[in-house]
Chain A
Amino acid sequence: MKASRGILILLLLLAVAFSLATVLQLRTPRWTRRSASDSVLALVFGESRQLFANHFFVKADISFHSGYYPSMFDQARQAEENDNDVSHPGEEEAPKPESGFLGPPTDWIDRFGRHFRPVLHVHLQGGNIREILPWLRISAELDPHRVEAYTVASYWMRKHLGKVDEAQQFLREGLRANPDSYELLFELGSLYYDNRHDAGRARNVWLAALRLWQKQEPGKSQPDNLALDQIAVHLAHLEEQEGNLDRAVEYFEMAKRVSPDPPQLQRQIDEIKQRQPRAGSLSPR
């Protein structure tokens, strides 16, 4: 009798708990101001996510260097984090014995210890690039507003791994979280242009990126001129390929104003102007 009463009480408590859960589930997001779509990571880490997101982005760079990286106690760490190689994909180099952040060994402990850790500055090559992707994915999961995680992952996926669909999907995710990001739009435009060979769509996306840049950056004390340079130069090349030489010159002129190498762009402008049909001559339209 006592046992059955105990079971009944337990069942009653379970029923109450279940009913409460169904009621509270709908109300708690309003109390905590948390959206229903927030991930488990957001729930667990809260605002500290951004700190962890940075850590995982740096992990991607460590992975890109195959473990050869300044530790948090080395002075070079800050510089490496601020200017990480994984974000500068164009720079490829051969492995070389490093005298960089490690410097010459200071004593026999230091010298011998180097036999047990990576001491060559290398970058991941070919398909091995895929190894950085989990860290970038986790970084983006933790902080969806870290635009760099999306653009870097997309670049390597579409350029080196042939994962164009995945890159596009990831960029779309990034755009959902950061609809005003000209960096994401620029990368998406590059994907359309380089991988999908869809110049029309690439132009539209790059123009949207340009509009966002013009809306956000000019008022800043240090505007992101590199981004404007990239967007304008890519638009110029696109227009040049499409035969819209006047527009190409316009974009090159725009890029020249912020470019670190204006003479190079001027040469390209001159080349296009030479190819342009002279005023008054008959040209088919």
Chain B
Amino acid sequence: MNKIFAIAGVVIKELYRRKDFYVLFVLTALITLLLGSVNFFNDDRIARYLKEICLLLIWISALVIAITTTARQIPAERENRTIFPLLAKPVTRLEVIIGKFLGCWLAVGLALVVFYLFFGVISGSREHAWPVLKYFQALWLQWTMLAVVIALVVFGSVLFTSPAENVTICFFAVLGILLLGGHLNTAALGQKEPLRAMFYTLYYLIPHLEWFDVRDIVIYDWPLIPWLDCLLATAYAAVYVVLFVFAAWVVFRRKVLTT
């Protein structure tokens, strides 16, 4: 376990040494503050448009950070040939995969905490209310969703030859699931066989990441999601994480690392 945490620690250090997070955070803050300064009919209690835009930017930024950070982990180790000294130590390939996954997930979690703190301050300053539990649920569910995304990208990084290829494919896959995943069943109903069966198979196979997007609950002040549902959603995501990490390990353990 210590070896996994050691590898994860290196990934976390990499995130705060690189500029990606800072740039995205400053951009998010800048756009939100700029829009917050706009005067709509002399009413300074209007908050939901700001919450909506800020959360959208947080979602985009978190996805960018998660996918780009994860996609370069293993290819960079191979390119710099640091993978060899790493594997020369008593570290298994499974530990490398889990360490990389865990590092990226924790790093993105740290970034999310900063983003949500900013969101909380902005939202609280407008609404004069602090629904901390709701923000925690939103953060937790988004972080859980990102675990699936990161595991998918780790799998992609041992499957595809270049990080750019991996980033592009994963971005499209994740956006596709977020936008269309929940509607595949409705789309299937309008199709004839065998297309209908294909749509349904895809519908049941893909991880339903759209569940974890609870922005509307936060923006429009709906009541808290039952904690049991959050737990079940977390377990659902955990299954996909294990599946993708395992698949990544299966491919990685037989991979010839010399180029």
With CB as the reference atom, state the residue of chain B lying closest to A105.
B185
Task: Check A109 for interface membership: any CB of B closer than 8 A.
Answer: yes
Contact between chains at A163 and B41 (CB < 8 Å): yes
Q: Which parts of A93-113 form the interface with B (CB within 8 Å)?
A: 106-107, 109-110, 112-113
- Interface residue B117 (Cβ < 8 Å from any Cβ of A): no
A163 to chain B, nearest CB (A): 6
Tell whether A109 pairs with B220 under 8 Å between CB atoms, given A116-B212, A116-B213, A137-B41. Answer: no
**Cα A153 to Cα B41 with chains together (Å):** 10
CB-CB under 8 A from A63, the residues of chain B are: 48-49, 220
Q: Which of A5-13, A125-133, A214-222, A225-233 lies at the interface with chain B?
A: A125-133
Q: In the bound complex, do residue B41 and residue A115 qualify as a contact, i.e. CB atoms below 8 Å apart?
A: no
Interface size on B, residues (CB 8 A): 36
Task: List chain A residues, Cβ under 8 A from B216.
Answer: 66-67, 117-118
Please tell me which one of the listed residues A117, A133, A163 contacts residue B217 in the complex, with CB atoms under 8 A apart: A117
Partner of A133, one of B41, B186, B210, B233: B41
User: Is the Cβ of A134 less than 8 Å from the Cβ of B220?
Assistant: no
Nearest CB on A from B187, distance (A): 7
B193 interface residue, CB < 8 Å from A?
Answer: no
Interface assignment of B100: CB less than 8 Å from any CB of chain A: no
Q: Report whether A113 and B211 are in contact in the complex, using a CB–CB cutoff of 8 Å.
A: yes
Number of interface residues of A (CB under 8 A): 29
Are B183 and A112 in contact (CB-based, < 8 A)?
no
Given contacts A66-B220, A109-B185, A115-B225, contact A131 B233 (CB under 8 A): no
Query: B83 at interface (Cβ–Cβ under 8 A)?
Result: no
Q: Which residues of B contact A73 (CB under 8 A)?
A: 180, 183, 186-187
Indicate if the CB atoms of B220 and A67 lie closer than 8 Å. Answer: yes
Cβ contact of B185, chosen from A74, A110, A116, A170, cutoff 8 A: A110
Inter-chain contact B212/A131, CB cutoff 8 Å: no
A66 near B222: Cβ-Cβ < 8 Å: yes
Q: How far is the CB of A109 from chain B (nearest CB, A)?
A: 6
CA distance A131 to B40 in the complex (A): 10
Residues of chain A within 8 A (CB-CB) of B48 are 63, 131
Q: Is B182 an interface residue (CB 8 A)?
A: yes
**Interface positions of B from 208 to 235, Cβ below 8 Å from A:** 208, 210-214, 216-217, 219-222, 225-226, 229, 232-233
- Inter-subunit contact B182/A113 (CB<8 Å): yes
The reply on A135 being an interface residue by CB < 8 A is: yes
B:28-52 near A, CB below 8 Å = 38, 40-43, 45-49
* Bound CA span A116–B185, Å: 18
Q: In the bound complex, how far is the Cα of B40 from the Cα of A161, in angstroms?
A: 13
**Which chain A residue has the least Cβ–Cβ distance from B51?**
A131
- B141 at interface, CB cutoff 8 A: yes
Contact of A157 with B by CB under 8 A: yes
Interchain residue pairs A-B with the least CB separation, the first 9 = A67-B216, A66-B220, A134-B49, A73-B183, A166-B41, A67-B220, A131-B48, A115-B229, A134-B40
**Chain A residues engaging chain B, CB cutoff 8 angstroms:** 63, 66-67, 71, 73-74, 106-107, 109-110, 112-113, 115-118, 127, 130-131, 133-135, 137, 153, 157, 161, 163, 166, 170
Can you add 9 more A-B contacts, CB < 8 Å, to A116-B229, A134-B46, A137-B41? A67-B219, A74-B186, A109-B182, A109-B208, A113-B182, A113-B208, A131-B47, A131-B49, A133-B40
